[in-house]
A and B are shown apart, each in its own frame.
Chain A
Amino acid sequence: MTAVAPATVPVYTAPPWYRRAKTWQMVARYAVAVGLTIIFLFPVYWIFIMAFKTPEEVFASPPIWAPSSLQLNSFRKLFQDGEVISVWNSLVTAGVSTLVAMFFGTICAYSLARFRTGGNNLAIWIISQRMIPPIVIVFPIFMLYAALGLIDSFFGLIVLYTAFNLPYVIWMMRGYIEDIPLELEQSALVDGWSRWQMLWRVVFPMVKGGLFATAVFAFIFAWNDFIFALVLTRTEVTTFPVKVTSFFGQQQTFWAKIGAMSILGTLPIFFAVAALQRFIVRGISLGAVKG
């Protein structure tokens, strides 16, 4: 036996000019990225620190970029004046309507995807409902709700958000369900599960990512809605976006309150997105492939 010398692998070294060009390219890229991030984050930062400023600091000129101390006064006032209830109202209306829309929407989507309910056209017709600009229908709905006594009620807002979210949920979930290999479902049916059991044990786990992503977006829609809440509520179920506008007074604008309320209103979305981030990214990209 002859000893075999270990093969020497030549190491490629880039010429210096190439490495220099590379370095500059990276620096430029980071500079642009940091610049854009600052531009986008600045308003968020500004509203954030505003919540922690004293009234004098809010109106100080030149502006105070970083307050010397964090004042919790604005938050305290929101609670004292009972205005914080509007965040709860938003949570209830957005949360309940999302749950209801997800439940019925997913069942509808399954029917559309697997039983070809309504052929090819029903699905398009359903999603087209979502494309109506809200402002077009808000006044007819106001008249309807006034007649039915649904103005300023949780039930009224929840029904409306559910109606608006259903088409979106159905459309998205139909895509996710169609992506499940049919054989997975059929195998379960042959194995001894009923259709409903199979939905729970096969379809639900298979679409879980898409389901959470869709739910987050449905929730955000209801959470961010302004126009319906403005027209259809008065005092009882004022949601937080409507409440924020009430701080813009004719004599005075309560900037600190606006800032504090904005923070409270952003927190639920922030936590929802943070908790479900994994699913959302995948959900969106799946949707993107589906087109």
Chain B
Amino acid sequence: MARVRLSGLHKHYGALHAVRGIDLDIPEGEFTVIVGPSGCGKSTLLRTVAGLEEADEGAIEIDGEVVNDLAPRDRNIAMVFQNYALYPYMTVFENIAFGLRARKFPKPEINKRVQEAAELLDITEQLVRYPRQLSGGQRQRVAIGRAIVRDARLFLFDEPLSNLDAQLREEMRAEIKRLHQDLGKTMIYVTHDQVEAMTLADRIVLLRDGLIEQQGAPLDLFERPETRFVAGFLGSPTMNFVPATLEASDGGLAVRFAEGTTLPLPPTRAQAVRSRAGSAVTLGVRAEHMSRANDAGTREGLAPLNVTIDLVQPTGSRTYATFNLADTAVSAELQAHDVRGPGEKMALLVDMNRIVLLDPETDRVL
């Protein structure tokens, strides 16, 4: 088990500044997911920790020891790669044993450990086969098996599931999470998939253009994003962003859209943004925080909004209804039978306790 600390980490590829000053503290045994859009420097960061890239600046500490100058093999790290990185000319057994052989484990010990790992991952039958004879999911298990036989102190995963189809991805995701629970090892997991990040992480580190945009527990980031980027990146469908102004009304504050509609802010929310009254804001609201108004009455903080639906997308359990607000297409997640079809006029309720208000200039949450 290992504690990892990165401080002031920079990495350039020629003129390209891929990692631009990362400070990160990863406690022992934690499952940290580094997530961000493709090209933001996730892999580079991970590979720098592994020693496959050299940091231009900054320190990588594992268990209090600076490892910048250690070769990858001396860092005692295990890594699972996106394309499995299985050796096509070796059997599954040899693939899993490869790292043990490098570290000169005695033969009986190798046999024992490979068998154990194979049983844990349910690939005992495949041990005598070659990688090309395996399915994608089995290959991924072999890759994971190769990582876990070795007692590494730190596990790195670089998008290990992105080559699998949707169903298999869910299965393997659960398996990786269980593996973490069983082994209790420190794991750093890189992905561009926010669902993977949310479901796996003890802590999410959201990366953008080589910098940490925000980090915290998954629900923390989801419910209290600090920037538009974070709010938009996490959650599916993407959060709706609508331009508006903040205006004083009846002693409180309300969000006013270009066409004149207003949504009053509950007093608790209004407190924080009082100084902004009269200025432009961006309203961020998630599809699931809007619902169809019904006769059951309203709760505190639900604001009515009259809309005309122009697009309906049923998914089975829920239906997405799109309407226009301040020249922006906004999507609301409704009960499956709440909406009949395009053109329907209806009253929605917006949960004003769950919205975010952003400064349109800086895209930071107010």
Contact = CB atoms under 8 A, between A and B. Distances in A.
A205 B73 contact: no
A134 to B, nearest CB: 38
A213 B73 CA distance: 33
Contact of B79 (A187, A194, A197): A187
B130 interface: no
A190 B73 contact: yes
A266 B7 CA distance: 66
A191 B102 contact: yes
B150 interface: yes
A144 interface: no
- Chain A contact-residue range equals 10 to 19
B78 A190 contact: yes
B50 interface: yes
Interface string B63-86: 000000001110101110111010
A188 B98 contact: yes
B102 A193 contact: yes
A199 B160 CA distance: 25
Nearest to B89: A205
A194 B99 CA distance: 12
A117 interface: no
B79 A193 contact: no
Interface string B293-324: 00000000000000000000000000000000
A10 interface: no
A190 B78 CA distance: 6
A204 to B, nearest CB: 10
A189 interface: yes
Contact of B77 (A181, A190, A197): A190
A205 B90 CA distance: 10
A186 interface: yes
Interface string A151-192: 000000000000000000000000000000101101111111
A105 B166 CA distance: 45
A269 interface: no
A200 B322 CA distance: 59
Question: At the interface, is chain B mostly helix, strand, loop or mixed?
Answer: loop
Interface band, chain B: 20 to 34
Interface string B86-106: 011100000000110011000
A205 to B, nearest CB: 5
Given A186-B52, A187-B79, A192 B85 contact: no
Interface in A177-232: 181, 183-184, 186-194, 197, 202, 205-206
A190 B79 contact: yes
A183 B89 CA distance: 15
A184 B85 contact: yes
A189 B72 contact: yes
A181 B83 contact: yes
B81 A191 contact: no
B85 A197 contact: no
B73 A192 contact: yes
A202 B87 CA distance: 8
Given A191-B98, A191-B102, A192-B103, A184 B87 contact: yes
Contacts of B79: 186-187, 190
B87 A197 contact: no
Interface string B307-347: 00000000000000000000000000000000000000000
Contacts of B72: 186, 189-190
B146 interface: yes
A181 B131 CA distance: 15
A181 B82 CA distance: 11
B85 A181 contact: yes
B78 to A, nearest CB: 7
A183 B82 contact: yes
A66 B313 CA distance: 84
A118 to B, nearest CB: 16
Most buried by B among A181, A190, A191, A205: A190
Contacts of B150: 191-192
Given A183-B85, A186-B47, A186-B85, 19 more contacts: A183-B82, A184-B85, A184-B87, A186-B52, A186-B79, A189-B51, A189-B52, A189-B72, A189-B73, A190-B52, A190-B72, A190-B75, A190-B78, A191-B102, A191-B146, A192-B99, A205-B89, A206-B88, A206-B89
17 contacts: A183-B82, A183-B83, A184-B87, A186-B79, A187-B146, A188-B102, A189-B72, A190-B72, A190-B75, A191-B73, A191-B78, A191-B99, A192-B99, A192-B103, A193-B102, A205-B89, A206-B89
10 smallest beta-carbon distances between A and B, as pairs: A192-B102, A191-B99, A187-B85, A183-B85, A183-B81, A189-B72, A192-B73, A190-B79, A193-B102, A205-B89
